[in-house]
């Protein structure tokens, strides 16, 4: 159905003034359904928000698969237009008004380039273009920038993945089941869902309840349970279970040395894409193609999930935690597109929120200069099974070797409780109290003595685990926890490793049963002050369901297993096999 183009002129009065006393523009116009040709003949469509006064303005592009009339998008883009920008809000290929086929991630690089260069040539643009948006809207910015569009000046990818396999689809090779299924099948299938597959919450058949669908095996037919037919991109993801050529072709991290313009990345300590936020900053600083990009890239991380907030999970971090994302973006764009002397270039490039003391601090880089990486060792006077056990932590390595053991049954997995998840999946996210799962015998719990002095960490966190299992594959799930004097157990960092990927995400290799291996589990990073009277805790187990799929312990390919087996797990510590976590200790804020 053809949609006609419309122009609206909106008198929007604002009282604020720009630096120097110049009033913001108080009238804008919206031009609907602008055709944007792609190089392969497909036409995509977008809306243009611009000042009503004729002229050429710096231009911001946002590309979205969620619809240009999505709540919140309209209001933000009106505000940019009020402040002297032309803004183009575009439906991604195959979504809503745009033509072509929806195949997530695959066309975003070239489509982004074409959209940027089209916008730069329009009569509303002065030829300087920036990109904006979060989550999928952030990933598409990285993809477009890697193609080096000549008119691109800056980008603000918030809450965004930089490697779709490594920090979207999986973490440590473990499949992010609840998110990938909820987003890829339930929310974003490659066609319109049939009416019989919609149900009100009160009348969902038992077999279609989300938690039961996610228990379905094999995973590669789970789409039939929810969408009623095959969802091709979801099945493609499962078929490419390692970081192979399919994923490398769309990885922004493979092309960081092509990036020519500065970025400001924004993320949350509990966001599902925290690794993308951090990697985006660090890799731009190290590898970007121009000195301008390397020097002017910035990062801000708050105590948030998938967007700024004051309270998240079980914790209220105070009013200071909340950040106005629009104002953060506006300052960045004003400096980079308009050249306004707003002091951005005078500020340190990294701004992070320290949990525990609930303070913001600016830093010279990430990881922080002069970080002292300290090893905190597992130990214990008795078995560490559950919080009732005798697992301990110490900065002193134990001389005597010891082991802890537990059984992991995929049919009775440890439930997801908080952590880095998002976006309407049925699992809880953020800093949730871990005590309910720490009661289980298949969770090993190691706790330090009460701290006498504050201990602040800020930077990457890694677990060095020496362990064995009696099968060809399994998972190792680790959480770093801040235990309050009242017992509240707040997770501050987490990581998981599918054991077959111990040598690299592109080098899967099954285990020899009952052989001891050294595993490194990437726990991404955090900033937290453990206060006096608190204790440091590490929880180790083999599942976190449904945030991650259950490893069946059989060694079969992802998505194909129909049966599971119970695994016997052994963790070694002390003596010649000193399992430990590496903490990035910094000065107290």
pLDDT digits (tens, 9 = 90+) for 14-68: 434 454 445 455 699 999 999 999 999 999 999 999 999 999 999 999 999 999 8
pLDDT of residue 425: 62
The domain 7-158+251-297 having CATH identifier 3.40.50.1000: the answer here is no
Q: What are phi and psi of 192, to 5 degrees?
A: -75, 130
pLDDT band at 4 (very low <50, low <70, confident <90, very high): very low
pLDDT digits (tens, 9 = 90+) for 317-348: 999 999 999 999 999 999 999 999 999 999 99
Mean pLDDT of 78-83: 95
DSSP string, 20-36: TSPBPP-EEEEEEEEEE
pLDDT of residue 208: 55
CA pair distance 230, 17, nearest whole angstrom: 54
Mean pLDDT taken over the chain:
92
> Which stretches of 103-231 are DSSP H helices?
108-120, 136-145, 164, 177-181, 210-214, 222-226
- In sequence order, what are the beta bridge partners of 321? none
pLDDT of residue 104: 97
- In sequence order, what are the beta bridge partners of 480? 493, 538
Percentage of the chain lying above the pLDDT 90 cut? 86
Residue 245 structure tokens: 């050529």
Residue 434 structure tokens: 């871990």
Q: Which residues are catalytic?
A: 135, 271, 306
pLDDT digits (tens, 9 = 90+) for 249-280: 999 999 999 999 999 999 999 999 999 999 99
Mean pLDDT of 551-563: 96
Regarding pTM above 0.85, the answer is yes
Mean pLDDT of 401-414: 98
Residue 279 structure tokens: 């990697």
Measure Cα distances from 136 to 36, 183, 507 in Å.
20, 11, 27
pLDDT at 203 over 70: no
Nearest to 268 by CA among 134, 165, 173, 364: 134
pLDDT of residue 28: 93
The domain 372-586 having CATH identifier 1.10.357.10: the answer here is no
pLDDT of residue 35: 98
493 and 480 in contact (C-beta within 8 Å)? yes
Nearest to 573 by CA among 483, 476, 468: 468
Rounded to 5 degrees, what angle do the CA atoms 512, 517, 520 make?
Answer: 130
Q: What are phi and psi of 185, to 5 degrees?
A: -110, -55
Residue 588 structure tokens: 């107290």
The alpha-carbon radius of gyration of the chain (Å, integer) is 25
Tokens 């869902």 belong to residue: 193
474 and 499 in contact (C-beta within 8 Å)? yes
């Amino acid at each position: 159905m053809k949609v006609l183009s419309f122009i609206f002129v909106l008198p929007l009065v604002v009282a604020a003034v720009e630096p120097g006393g110049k009033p913001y523009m108080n009238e804008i116009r919206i031009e609907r359904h602008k055709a944007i040709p792609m190089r392969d003949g497909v036409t995509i469509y977008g809306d243009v928000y611009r000042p009503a006064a004729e002229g050429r303005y710096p231009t911001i592009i946002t590309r979205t698969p969620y619809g240009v009339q999505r709540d919140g998008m309209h209001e933000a883009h009106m505000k940019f237009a009020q402040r002297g920008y032309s803004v183009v809000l575009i439906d991604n290929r195959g979504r809503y008004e745009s033509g072509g086929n929806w195949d997530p991630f695959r066309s975003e690089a070239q489509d982004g380039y074409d959209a940027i260069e089209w916008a730069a040539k329009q009569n509303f643009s002065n030829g300087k273009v920036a990109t904006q948006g979060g989550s999928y809207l952030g990933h598409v910015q990285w993809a477009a920038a890697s193609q080096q569009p000549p008119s691109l000046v800056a980008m603000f990818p918030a809450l965004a993945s930089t490697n779709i396999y490594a920090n979207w689809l999986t973490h440590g090779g473990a499949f992010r089941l609840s998110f990938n299924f909820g987003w890829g099948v339930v929310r974003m299938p490659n066609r319109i869902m049939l009416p019989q597959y919609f149900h009100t919450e009160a009348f969902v058949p038992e077999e279609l309840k989300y938690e039961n669908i996610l228990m379905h095996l094999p995973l590669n037919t789970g789409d039939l349970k929810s969408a009623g037919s095959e969802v091709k991109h979801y099945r493609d993801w499962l078929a490419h279970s390692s970081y192979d050529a399919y994923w490398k072709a769309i990885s922004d991290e493979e092309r960081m040395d092509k990036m020519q313009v500065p970025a400001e990345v924004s993320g949350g300590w509990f966001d599902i894409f925290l690794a993308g936020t951090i990697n985006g900053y660090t890799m731009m600083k190290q590898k970007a193609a121009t000195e301008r990009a390397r020097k002017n890239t910035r990062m801000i991380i708050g105590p948030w999930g998938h967007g700024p907030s004051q309270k998240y999970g079980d914790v209220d971090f105070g009013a200071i935690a909340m950040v106005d994302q629009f104002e953060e973006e506006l300052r960045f764009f004003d400096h980079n597109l308009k050249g306004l002397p707003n002091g951005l270039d005078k500020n340190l490039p990294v701004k992070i929120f320290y949990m525990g003391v609930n303070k913001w601090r600016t830093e010279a880089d990430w990881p922080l200069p002069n970080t002292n990486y300290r090893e905190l060792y597992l130990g214990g006077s008795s078995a560490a099974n559950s919080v009732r056990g005798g697992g301990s932590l110490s900065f002193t390595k134990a001389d005597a070797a010891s082991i802890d053991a537990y059984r992991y049954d995929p049919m009775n997995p440890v439930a997801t409780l908080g952590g880095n998840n998002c976006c309407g999946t049925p699992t809880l996210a953020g800093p949730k109290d871990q005590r309910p799962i720490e009661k289980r015998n298949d969770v090993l719990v190691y706790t330090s003595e009460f701290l006498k002095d504050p201990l602040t960490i800020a930077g990457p966190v890694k677990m060095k685990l020496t362990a064995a299992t009696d099968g060809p594959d399994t998972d190792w799930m680790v959480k770093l926890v801040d235990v309050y004097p009242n017992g509240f157990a707040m997770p501050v960092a987490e990581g998981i490793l599918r054991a077959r990927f111990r040598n690299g995400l592109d080098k899967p290799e099954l285990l020899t049963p009952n052989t001891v291996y050294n595993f490194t589990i990437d726990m991404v990073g955090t900033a937290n002050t453990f206060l006096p009277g608190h204790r440091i805790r590490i929880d180790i187990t083999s599942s976190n369901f449904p945030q991650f799929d259950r490893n069946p312990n059989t060694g079969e390919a992802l998505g194909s297993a129909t049966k599971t087996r119970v695994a016997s797990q052994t963790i070694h510590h002390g003596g010649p096999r000193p399992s430990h976590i590496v903490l990035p200790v910094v000065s107290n804020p």
